[in-house]
C-alpha cells in the first residue's frame, strides 16, 4: 500500500473534514502516514494524531521558519516528544532562505541542534531546504557520520547534488511537483536516482499533483505521483508503490508487524 512519508494533517486546512479524509485513506490504497511537526504546536498536534489513528506515525521538529520560538526549555520539551512511542523521526528541520523569516545564523544553530538530537536518540531526520542548497549541504556533511539517516524532503535541487546526498546514504522525498511540466531538473534526478532511495510524500495540504495543482493536497493523490515516477523509471506504478513503502518502513523503522 501507499506510504505517505511526509504529511501535515494537523494543518488548519483539514479542520473541516480531517476525520472524513483520514478514515477514507485505506480505501484509496494508502496504508501508512507520517505526520510531520513544523512547530511546537504542530508537534503537539502530531503526537495527538498518532495516538488517535493506528496508521499514523509522527515526526517531532521545528521548521526553519519557526525556530524563533525555540528556547532551551522548549527544546527540552521537544526532546521529550521525540521519545513518544510513535514518533519515528526528528523534523522537519533545516534551512529556508526563500521566506527568510528567521536570521540565517539562528536557523543554522537550531538545525544543528536538531540533527544532534536525532543522533542522540538514534532517529532519522527530515530535512527542509529551500534556496539554501550550499549551506544545507555544508552542515549535513559536517554533522554526518556512518549512522546518520536523513531524507531531503521535497527535493528540488540538481541531480549532481542528489548524487552527493545518495553517497551519504540519504533518501530523496518526491511529491506532487514531479508531475509539473516545468519540473525538468526533478524528473532528471528521479530518472537517475535508485528507486530504493526514493520516498513518496504529499507535504499536504501543499503541492498537490497535476491535475489538482493549486488545490488542497492529501494522501489519496499520491497515486498520481507513483504513476509519474513509474513512467520515468520504466516500471509499473505498483512496483513504485511497493518499493517506496519498503523504503519508508526501513527509513522510519516501522515493521510490517506494526499497525499501519
Mean pLDDT by 10 residues, the chain (260 residues): 98 98 98 98 98 98 97 98 97 96 96 98 98 98 94 96 97 98 97 98 98 97 98 98 98 79
Q: How many domains does the chain have?
A: 1
Q: Where are the alpha helices (DSSP H) in the chain?
A: 18-24, 40-52, 72-82, 104-121, 133-143, 159-167, 184-192, 222-233, 237-252
Model pLDDT, residue 238 = 98
Place of cell 518526491: 174
- Taking Cα atoms as reference points, which of 44, 62, 51, 57 lies closest to residue 253? 57
Model pLDDT, residue 259 = 53
Is there a domain that residue 70 lies in? yes
Task: Please say whether the beta carbons of 155 and 190 come within 8 A.
Answer: no
Model pLDDT, residue 28 = 97
Is there a domain that residue 179 lies in? yes
How many of the other CB atoms lie within 10 Å of CB of 213?
Answer: 14
Is there a domain that residue 99 lies in? yes
How many of the other CB atoms lie within 10 Å of CB of 204?
Answer: 27
Model pLDDT, residue 173 = 98
Model pLDDT, residue 258 = 62
Strands 87-96 and 56-60: parallel
Strands 2-7 and 30-36: parallel
In the three-class reduction of DSSP (H, G, I as helix; E, B as strand; rest coil), residue 256 is classed as coil
Is there a domain that residue 259 lies in? no
Model pLDDT, residue 227 = 98
Three-point CA angle 164, 192, 247, nearest 5°: 80
246 vs 248: CA distance, rounded Å: 6
26: Cβ contacts below 8 Å, ≥ 6 apart: 1, 55
Q: What residue numbers bound the domain in which 55 lies?
A: 2-252
Is there a domain that residue 231 lies in? yes
Is there a domain that residue 257 lies in? no
Model pLDDT, residue 209 = 98
Task: Give the CATH number of the domain where residue 171 resides.
Answer: 3.20.20.140
In the three-class reduction of DSSP (H, G, I as helix; E, B as strand; rest coil), residue 250 is classed as helix
How many of the other CB atoms lie within 10 Å of CB of 22?
Answer: 22
Is there a domain that residue 258 lies in? no
CA torsion, ordered 155, 46, 62, 216, to nearest 10 deg: 50
In the three-class reduction of DSSP (H, G, I as helix; E, B as strand; rest coil), residue 215 is classed as coil
Residue 7's DSSP bridge partners are 35, 204
228: Cβ contacts below 8 Å, ≥ 6 apart: 178, 179, 209
Task: Please say whether the beta carbons of 156 and 128 come within 8 A.
Answer: no
Is there a domain that residue 190 lies in? yes
Amino acid at each position: 500500500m501507499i506510504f505517505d512519508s511526509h504529511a501535515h494533517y494537523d494543518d488548519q486546512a483539514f479542520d473541516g473534514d480531517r476525520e472524513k479524509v483520514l478514515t477514507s485513506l485505506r480505501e484509496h490504497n494508502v496504508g501508512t502516514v507520517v505526520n510531520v511537526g513544523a512547530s511546537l504546536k504542530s508537534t503537539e498536534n502530531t503526537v495527538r494524531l498518532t495516538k488517535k489513528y493506528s496508521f499514523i506515525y509522527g515526526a517531532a521538529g521545528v521548521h526553519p521558519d519557526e525556530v524563533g520560538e525555540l528556547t532551551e526549555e522548549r527544546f527540552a520539551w521537544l526532546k521529550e516528544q521525540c521519545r513518544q512511542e510513535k514518533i519515528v523521526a526528528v523534523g522537519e528541520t533545516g534551512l529556508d532562505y526563500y521566506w527568510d523569516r528567521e536570521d540565517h545564523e539562528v536557523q543554522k544553530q537550531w538545525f544543528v541542534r536538531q540533527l544532534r538530537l536525532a543522533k542522540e536518540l538514534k532517529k532519522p531526520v527530515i530535512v527542509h531546504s529551500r534556496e539554501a542548497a550550499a549551506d544545507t549541504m555544508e552542515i549535513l556533511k559536517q554533522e554526518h557520520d556512518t549512522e546518520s539517516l536523513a531524507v531531503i524532503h521535497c527535493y528540488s535541487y540538481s541531480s549532481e547534488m542528489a548524487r552527493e546526498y545518495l553517497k551519504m546514504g540519504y533518501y530523496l522525498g518526491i511529491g506532487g511537483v514531479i508531475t509539473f511540466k516545468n519540473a525538468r531538473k526533478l524528473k532528471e534526478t528521479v530518472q537517475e536516482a535508485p528507486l530504493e532511495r526514493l520516498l513518496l510524500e504529499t507535504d499536504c495540504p501543499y503541492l498537490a499533483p497535476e491535475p489538482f495543482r493549486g488545490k488542497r493536497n492529501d494522501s489519496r493523490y499520491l497515486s498520481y505521483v507513483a504513476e509519474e515516477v513509474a513512467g520515468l523509471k520504466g516500471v509499473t506504478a505498483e512496483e513504485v508503490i511497493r518499493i517506496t513503502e519498503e523504503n519508508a518502513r526501513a527509513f522510519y523503522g516501522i515493521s510490517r508487524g506494526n499497525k499501519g
